[in-house]
Amino acid sequence: MELEHSAESAALSKMENMRPDPPRRQWLRQMYRQRHIQIMALLGIAWIILFNYVPMYGIIIAFKDYRIINSIAEAPWVGLEHFKAFFEDDNFMNVMKNTLGISLIKLIVGFPLPIIFALFLNEIRSLRFKKAIQTISYLPHFLSWVVLGGILTTWLADVGIINNILLALNVIQEPISYLAEPDYFWGIIITSDIWKELGWSAIIYLAAISSVSPDLYEAATIDGAGRFQKMWYVTLPSIKGTISILFILAVSGVLNSNFDQILVLRNALNESASNVIDIYVYQTGMLSGRFSYSTAVGLFKSVIALFLLLIANSVTKKLNNTSLF
């Protein structure tokens, strides 16, 4: 009897040891095993909280009459006065026209081009030639707009290479100061932005294309599909999720006109075409000291971006069941 009892006790203790740990204990053990990685992640989270969320307290100055000599808490509340002042400002229509014009053209023209570039780049069979094209197309991305702005200013000058080529081809009869003409400014901004970011923007599409199953291409080949038909009926549908996500992000940033680029290339002569929201906020806030007013303008831009994000997310979710949330 004692042997049976001891054997039964041993079996019960063994069964208890074999029972899975509670979920909380499992989670704690996993966190301990990953403690080094978790510490690195916590540092990143702390950085985001410190530099992205804590400063959001300052948004309330958009609803106050803030002066730099006083604290934010001491500033009197003025409600929506700064927003009304922006809508009634003489520069409002010009700022919105330039911002929406540049951003929408960038979206319409600049968004599909990296997709097309990635599709054709994927069709190149020579690995050496493909790498050369990739390197050349990626290179401008790693140059700052300060450097590229100086290059473009030199190229587009009266005695620059652009005028020299056009004069040699008899396209124009006399040199043109492109950066001094507001009519050319949008085209310069859009073209130079595409040139700088085309290759870099195509990377994520190339990554998505590389994950497409070769069986789909083999099946299309058996069905008699050509290279363009494979691109249209196999490759594009396979990466539509990636395209949708990037489209949502692009639409939400439609009011971002690339502050660095425009700040470098703008001047007093093209001001009527280069005065966008970001430049306007910089001038009124940093140069004129109207901190509450410029914060209100920036907050207005952020709210519009949020609505655009929600609309684009909803539309893509209904069209192809792909969304951010």
* pTM (2 d.p.): 0.82
Q: Does the pLDDT of residue 21 top 70, yes or no?
A: no
pLDDT higher than threshold 90 for residue 87 = yes
Q: Could you tell me the domains of the chain?
A: 80-320 (1.10.3720.10)
199: how many CB neighbours lie within 10 A of its CB?
Answer: 22
Residue-wise DSSP of 90-105? TTHHHHHHHHHHHHHH
With 60 as the cut, is the pLDDT of residue 291 above it? yes
User: How confident is the model at residue 227, as a pLDDT?
Assistant: 86
The pLDDT value recorded for residue 320 is 81
Q: Is the pLDDT confidence value at 1 over 50?
A: no
pLDDT at 161: 92
**CA dist list (Å): 247 to 94, 103, 313:** 26, 13, 9
Q: What is the pLDDT of residues 153-187, one digit of tens each?
A: 999 998 889 999 999 998 888 999 999 999 999 99
Q: What percent of the chain has pLDDT over 70?
A: 94
Altogether, the residues listed in the chain come to a count of: 325
Query: Is a pLDDT exceeding 90 seen at residue 83?
Result: yes
